Amino acid sequence: MLPVLSLGPFALPTRPVLLLLGLWLGLTLVEREGRRRGIGAALAMDALWGLAAGYIAGRVGALLPYGFSSPWDLLSIIRPIDPTLAPLPALLTAAGVIAWRWQRHRIPWRVGLDAMAPLLFGMAIAWALGDWAEGRRYGEPTSIPLLAMLGGGERHPVQLYEAGVGILAFTLWHWMRKRLRAPGGSFLLAFTLYSATRFIVEGFRAQSLTWLGFRVPQLLAFVGLIIGLGGLAWIEERSHDSPA
């Protein structure tokens, strides 16, 4: 675990640093994808606006049930140390802002999703590393010495598994996307690989919600895997059947 980075006289919380690095890398790749597709740097700015709005909405959704005793408590919304977010308001707000900006810039939604795929990997990997640094979302007990040590105790370092498999998934995506013809295929490939990542790592996660003996996160990841593979096969088949 590494909750704080010591840089000489400075001590920085590790999670915000990792998230900012993941955001920077993801937006850099989004901008590169946008330029490659003839859109320019607008996609990166659209993503940044959407993520900022989604973050604020997610923080408000998470903290609002507890109330605010004074106006100064509103500053806790932008506090980078606390990772607590309400996922549904965050996702809906981010998607709404990005869709609105795409409409303004007349960006086809399939092309936009394709270019946004690297950001999905960048933020997922950075979030997993941030969880490891703070000891959050830990894994099941293990007796393997090295893994137990990396897990900060006798537990699987599932956060590192998630980051490692995420890097592998991004590498596969970067290699396989060049073979896809249909707009939207690159995003569906990223969605499929991310779902596969979640399916693998959730098998090691501790305190996972279960239903009928199955882990709910794994079931959701499996559904995402099927949807991604089915959608990818469908649009690629239509692309090959359509005249060039």
pTM summary value = 0.84
Q: What are phi and psi of 215, to 5 degrees?
A: -75, 125
Contact between 162 and 123 under an 8 Å Cβ cutoff? The reply is: no
pLDDT of 71: 62
pLDDT of 22: 93
Q: What percentage of the chain carries pLDDT values higher than 90? A: 43
pLDDT of 244: 46
Q: How far apart (Å, rounded) are the C-alpha atoms in residues 148 and 46?
A: 41
Q: How far apart (Å, rounded) are the C-alpha atoms in residues 196 and 166?
A: 10
What is the DSSP code (8-state) at residue 6?
E
Please write the tens of the pLDDT for every residue from 93-152.
Answer: 999 999 999 999 899 999 899 999 999 999 999 999 988 888 888 888 887 777 777 776
Q: Is the pLDDT of residue 89 over 60?
A: yes
Please write the tens of the pLDDT for every residue from 32-76.
Answer: 888 887 777 888 999 999 999 998 898 888 877 777 666 666 666
- Greater confidence (137 vs 228) lies with 228
Read off the pLDDT of each residue in 230-242 and give the average, rounded to a whole number: 81
Q: What is the DSSP string of 111-163?
A: HHHHHHHHHHHHHHHHHHHHHHHHT-S-B-B---HHHHHHTTSSB--HHHHHH
pLDDT of 212: 74
pLDDT of 1: 66
10-13 and 4-7: which strand pairing? antiparallel
Amino acid at 192: T
Element (H, E) at 52: helix 42-63
pLDDT of 64: 78
Read off the pLDDT of each residue in 198-227 and give the average, rounded to a whole number: 88
Contact between 165 and 131 under an 8 Å Cβ cutoff? The reply is: no
pLDDT of 143: 79
Q: What are phi and psi of 114, to 5 degrees?
A: -60, -45
pLDDT of 242: 56
Please write the tens of the pLDDT for every residue from 68-88.
Answer: 666 666 666 666 556 678 889
